[in-house]
């Protein structure tokens, strides 16, 4: 009776919060996880498969090992339940790996360049439950191998993992998303949900952060070592949850990573508190005298990055855009202004910031009048003007405006190559970077749309069978920078290119057998090999990195077309652009309320239902399809007059209907 009651009350809870398409959500429904299947087994192990799905009984004798597969990337603390042991001197070792490449009975995959991480040994003296110490939770793994290497035997009756990400959410609510996405392409659907889950995997208890025990230890040949110590027990932020760069590593709040992760979080879980805890840690570590923000906050050693400094400022602007929380913005505003002054102080007589530190997203050649850093700077100044207006702090606006105008003029004068149609990295090179060109479009440092189109086209021409390469990082594929490239294609109005890149690069990142089919890798080679040029040790690469989740927000913002324009959605835009898709449906909640847009395209026209909270206003960009005809807009409650629009061939730009009040709307277009 008790369990029946429990089941029905759970069913009620999930009914109460059910959102569409929840079968795609990869987050586990319970924190206690069992392996799903066996990857491989060697030596004498009886019934290893009995430990899959539920407890069982497997006896390990002599040299023996079984590798288990959880079928997706997970994270947490392992508990082994032990039955019979031959004597009190028995051990079971546990190794972990995200990729199938590093499944081993000798070591885990890696958290540093120093080699592979050592086996976690548990001494099992007799029957009972043996749980790893908390600092030995593993932050991301799909494979877990049990190893026995002595004379004698051990009966394992359960191999469980207690799932530790999203520590501040109720145990059975990990899949209770506040947003959803669906379209008529299953691969894109999987990509959206894998991005959302990747960000959950990167949301950790901040008391168990920082996996960099052996940071900067790169010794010749040492990456063959299989005995590298690992643990994570540094406190990386205040509060009880933090959004960090990666699950396995580095388990540090990182502002660059968050610029891609934050919008993905907003539209899937709306987990704002974890974002705040991480943002606060950046500003807590700000140099109060010159305004410099850290490359990464302590315990990471202090360092200066021109771009990461700006990303922290953008994080605050995004927080305000996503929440409309003016109190939070006010709490950081003086630090924000001090921070922008720090960047302004690096402008030289060219009008551009002169970058004097190499730290960035691990690209090479960062320095001088760098186009990426200056585009991000231009973008940040413009975001600052909007924040200053929201706060009625008009004092700094004219300086920021004139500074932005100078940066834009100088970037185009010194760094634009008209013959090729791209920006150069700085005026001493012919290298045309992926990061700087993507950011030039995202930031609108470009002066006309033909620049945008030409950048988009040139970036497409560089693709390899594995994705979009970053020439500025030895041609590595960076899903972080490609997340900005995606936006550049949408802004160039080439939806086909954006969807093609998602399918090519993120499809590979899901479907290749070396990947986890559930979370997104931080970087790899443009030849499809699992090596990432900044690292000497391939086993170090993180397969669960929030900075690689760009498609998730891009699909909601650009394809389904729900865009917040101010203060948590006080104003908004609905602008579906489906490319080759026929159907797209998305929705999400902010503090202001619920937003959704569902577009269906058919041969005879299209149909769009959208919703925005009462008290807000927005605009509709009529979907541009081959179809021309009459568009009728109707509000469900009848509180607003119907709106009729004519779409004719002469409308070069998408027709925009302004001043639409929040409510439940339906727009239909019948061709002809």
Ligand X SMILES: *[C@@H]1O[C@H](CO)[C@@H](O)[C@H](O)[C@H]1NC(C)=O
- Site of interaction with ligand X (CB under 6 A): 40-43, 63-67, 103-105, 135, 145, 190, 224-225, 227, 231, 233, 237-238, 280-281, 284, 287, 289-290, 326, 334, 337-338, 341, 365, 367-368, 391-392, 425-426, 428-429, 431, 444, 447, 457, 460, 472, 494, 496-497, 500, 517
Task: Say if CB 246 and CB 253 are below 8 A apart.
Answer: no
Other CB atoms within 10 Å distance of the CB of residue 448: 9
Nearer to ligand X, 19 or 431 (CB): 431
- Rounded-to-integer distance, Cα 51 and Cα 66, Å: 10
- Are 262 and 322 a contacting pair, CB within 8 Å? yes
- Tell me the backbone φ, ψ of residue 165, rounded to 5 degrees: -60, 165
Closest approach of ligand X to the CB of residue 248, in Å: 17
Which of 359, 222, 362, 342 lies closest to 301, judged by CA?
A: 359
Round to whole Å and give the CA distance between 473 and 428: 17
Q: Which helix (H) or strand (E) holds 325?
A: none
Q: Nearer Cβ to ligand X, position 40 or 464?
A: 40
Q: Tokens at residue 632, please? A: 């009728």
User: Which is nearer to ligand X, 61 or 609 (by Cβ)?
Assistant: 61
Helices 255-266 and 479-491: crossing angle, nearest 10°?
60
Q: What is the DSSP letter of 425?
A: S
Region at 643 (left for phi over 0; alpha for psi -120 to 50; beta for the rest): beta
Reduced to 3 states (helix: H, G, I; strand: E, B; else coil), residue 334 is helix
Token pair recorded at residue 148: 């026995």
| Residue 221: CB minimum distance to ligand X, A | 9
- C-alpha to C-alpha distance for 388 and 386, rounded to whole angstroms: 5
Q: Tell me whether residue 40 or residue 625 sits nearer to ligand X (CB atom).
A: 40
In whole angstroms, the minimum distance from the beta carbon of 453 to ligand X comes to 6
Least spacing, CB of residue 357 vs ligand X, in Å: 10
Minimal distance, residue 335 CB to ligand X, in Å: 8
Residue 107 vs 589, nearer CB to ligand X: 107
Question: In this complex, which beta carbon is closest to ligand X, that of residue 136 or of residue 633?
Answer: 136
* Tokens encoding 409: 């003029």
CA distance 644 to 658: 12
Q: Pick between residue 296 and residue 586 the one whose CB is nearest to ligand X.
A: 296
Distance CA 264, CA 490 (A): 17
CB of 637 to ligand X, least distance (A): 28
For 161, residues 6+ apart whose C-beta sits below 8 A from its C-beta are: 32, 33, 34, 70, 74, 75, 76, 77, 78, 79, 144
- Tell the smallest beta-carbon distance from residue 1 to ligand X (Å): 35
Q: Decide: 158 and 51 in contact? Cβ < 8 Å.
A: yes
Q: How far apart are CA 68 and CA 105, in angstroms?
A: 12
Query: Measured at CB, which residue is nearest to ligand X?
Result: 367
C-beta of 188 vs 631, nearer to ligand X = 188
Cα separation of 398 and 402, whole Å? 6
**In the complex with ligand X, which residue's Cβ is closer, 431 or 661?**
431
Q: Kindly state the smallest distance separating residue 459's Cβ from ligand X, in Å.
A: 10
Closest separation in Å from C-beta 51 to ligand X: 13
| Residue 496 three-state SS | helix
Least Å distance, CB 545 to ligand X, is: 18
Q: How far is the CB of 72 from ligand X (least distance, A)?
A: 7
Give me 275's structure tokens. 């974002």
The least CB distance from residue 218 to ligand X, in Å, is 15
In angstroms, what is the minimal distance from the CB of 202 to ligand X?
17
Of 457 and 582, nearer to ligand X (C-beta) is 457
Q: What is the DSSP string of 115-166?
A: -PBPPEEEEE-SSEEEE--GGG-EEEEEEEEEEE-SSSEEEEEEEEEEE-SS
Nearer to ligand X, 122 or 669 (CB): 122
| DSSP β-bridge partners for residue 403 | none
| In the complex, least distance from residue 104 CB atom to ligand X, rounded to whole angstroms | 6
The interaxial angle of helices 479-491 and 449-461, nearest 10 deg, is 140
Comparing CB distances to ligand X, the nearer of 233 and 566 is 233
Exposure on the CB side of residue 232, measured as CA atoms within 13 A: 29
Output 8 or 330, the one with its CB closest to ligand X.
Answer: 330
C-alpha 405/C-alpha 381 separation (Å) is 10
Max CA pair span of the chain: 85
Q: Which is nearer to ligand X, 251 or 669 (CB)?
A: 251
Give dist(CA 146, CA 6) in Å, integer.
Answer: 34
Q: How far apart are the first and last CA of the chain?
A: 62
| Minimum gap (Å) between residue 231 Cβ and ligand X | 4
Residue closer to ligand X by CB (options 11, 447) is 447
Residue 492 C-beta: closest distance to ligand X, Å: 7
Of the candidates 88, 76, 95, 86, the residue with the CA atom closest to the CA atom of residue 147: 95
Q: What is the DSSP letter of 492?
A: T
Rounded CA-CA distance 502/49 in Å is 36
C-alpha dihedral (425, 427, 428, 430), degrees to nearest 10? 50
Give whichever of 43 and 152 is closer to ligand X, judged by the CB atom: 43
């Amino acid at each position: 009776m008790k369990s029946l009651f429990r089941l029905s009350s759970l069913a009620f809870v999930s009914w109460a919060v059910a959102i569409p398409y929840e079968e795609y959500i990869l987050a586990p429904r319970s924190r206690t996880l069992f392996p799903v299947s066996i990857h491989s087994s060697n030596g004498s192990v009886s019934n290893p498969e009995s430990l899959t799905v539920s407890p069982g009984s497997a006896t390990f004798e002599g040299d023996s090992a079984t590798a288990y597969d959880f079928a997706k990337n997970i994270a947490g603390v392992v508990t082994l339940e032990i039955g019979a042991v031959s004597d009190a001197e028995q051990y079971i070792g546990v190794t972990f790996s995200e990729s199938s490449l590093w499944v081993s009975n000798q070591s885990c995959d890696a958290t540093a360049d120093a080699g592979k991480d050592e086996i976690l040994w548990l001494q099992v003296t007799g029957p009972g439950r043996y749980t790893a110490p908390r600092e030995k939770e593993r932050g991301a793994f799909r494979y877990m191998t049990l190893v026995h290497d002595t004379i004698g035997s051990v009966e394992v009756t359960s191999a469980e993992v207690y799932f530790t990400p999203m520590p501040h959410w109720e145990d059975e609510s990990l899949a209770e998303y506040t947003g959803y996405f669906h379209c008529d392409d299953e691969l894109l659907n999987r990509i959206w949900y894998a991005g959302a889950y990747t960000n959950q995997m990167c949301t950790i208890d901040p008391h168990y952060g920082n996996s960099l025990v052996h940071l900067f230890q790169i010794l010749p040949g040492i990456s063959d070592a299989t005995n590298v110590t690992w643990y994570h027990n540094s406190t990386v932020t205040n509060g009880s949850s933090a959004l960090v760069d990666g699950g396995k590593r580095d388990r540090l709040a990182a502002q660059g990573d968050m610029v891609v992760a934050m919008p993905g979080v907003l539209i899937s879980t709306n987990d704002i508190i974890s974002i705040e805890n991480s943002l606060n840690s950046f500003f807590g570590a700000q140099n109060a005298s010159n305004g410099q923000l850290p490359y990464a906050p302590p315990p990471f050693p202090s360092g200066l990055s021109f771009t990461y400094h700006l990303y922290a400022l953008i994080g605050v602007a995004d927080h305000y855009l996503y929440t409309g929380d003016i109190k939070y913005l006010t709490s950081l505003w003086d630090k924000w202004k001090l921070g922008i002054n720090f960047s302004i102080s690096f402008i030289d007589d060219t009008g551009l910031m002169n970058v004097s530190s190499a730290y960035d997203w691990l690209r090479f050649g960062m320095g001088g009048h760098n186009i990426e850093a200056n585009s991000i700077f231009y973008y940040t100044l413009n975001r600052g003007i909007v924040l200053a207006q929201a706060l009625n702090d008009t004092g700094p606006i004219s300086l920021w405006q004139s500074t932005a105008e100078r940066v834009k003029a100088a970037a185009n004068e010194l760094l634009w190559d008209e013959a090729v149609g791209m920006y150069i990295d700085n005026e001493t090179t012919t290298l045309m970077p992926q990061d700087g060109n993507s950011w030039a479009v995202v930031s609108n440092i470009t002066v006309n749309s033909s620049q945008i189109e030409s950048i988009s086209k040139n970036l497409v021409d560089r693709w390899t069978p594995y994705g979009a390469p970053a020439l500025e990082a030895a041609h590595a594929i960076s899903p972080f920078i490609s997340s900005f490239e995606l936006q550049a294609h949408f802004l160039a109005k080439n939806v086909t290119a954006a969807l093609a890149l998602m399918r090519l690069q993120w499809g590979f990142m899901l479907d290749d057998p070396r990947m986890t089919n559930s979370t997104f890798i931080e970087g790899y080679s443009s030849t499809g090999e699992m090596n990432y040029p900044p690292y000497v040790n391939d086993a170090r690469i993180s397969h669960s990195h929030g900075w690689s989740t760009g498609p998730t927000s891009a699909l909601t913002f650009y394809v389904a077309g729900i865009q917040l324009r101010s203060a948590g959605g006080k104003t908004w835009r609905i602008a579906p652009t489906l490319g080759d898709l026929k159907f797209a449906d998305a929705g999400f909640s902010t503090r202001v309320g619920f937003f959704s847009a569902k577009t269906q395209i058919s041969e005879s026209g299209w149909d769009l239902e959208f919703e925005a909270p009462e008290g807000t206003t927005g605009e509709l960009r009529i979907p541009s399809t081959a179809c021309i005809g009459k568009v009728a807009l109707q509000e469900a409650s009848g509180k607003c007059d119907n709106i009729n629009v004519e779409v004719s061939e002469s409308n070069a730009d998408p027709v925009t209907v302004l001043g639409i009040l929040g409510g439940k709307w339906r727009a239909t277009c019948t061709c002809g």
